[in-house]
Amino acid sequence: MPNILVPVDTEIDVDVEVNDFLDECNSFEIEEIIDYLIETGHINKSAVNDYYTDQSVTEIEFEDALKKLQGNWNRLSSDDEATILKIANQF
């Protein structure tokens, strides 16, 4: 009797610690992971670029917030605009 191969869909759940997985990746694979995270919107590309600077996470978040305000002054309330100008004038 001949052997007949029948495709079978099988799901296997495997628990893998993230650190263990990443420890086994080489530099190229890590770059692929970062690219994937950027493409899927899990991380912001500018955050990745900023990560490789001496900036702290808090400073990066602050600068990202400033970038959102830039060019959107017309969407701010008069009070918000006055507050921002007041803060900026302190420097």
Give the angle 72-68-50 at the CA atoms, nearest 5°. 150
**83 vs 89: CA distance, rounded Å:** 10
Residue 31 pLDDT exceeds 70: yes
pTM for the structure as a whole: 0.41
- State percent of the chain over pLDDT 90: 12
Give the angle 81-82-88 at the CA atoms, nearest 5°. 90
Q: Which of 5-9, 12-16, 55-59 has the lowest mean pLDDT?
A: 55-59
Average pLDDT taken over every residue of the chain:
83
Chain CA centroid to CA 86, Å: 32
Q: What is the pLDDT, as a whole number, of residue 82?
A: 92
37-80: pLDDT as tens digits: 888 888 887 767 656 666 677 887 888 888 888 888 888 899 99
Please list the helix, strand and coil fractions of the chain in percent, rounded to the nearest 5, in that order.
60, 0, 40
- State percent of the chain over pLDDT 70: 89
Q: Are 84 and 76 in contact (CB under 8 A)?
A: yes
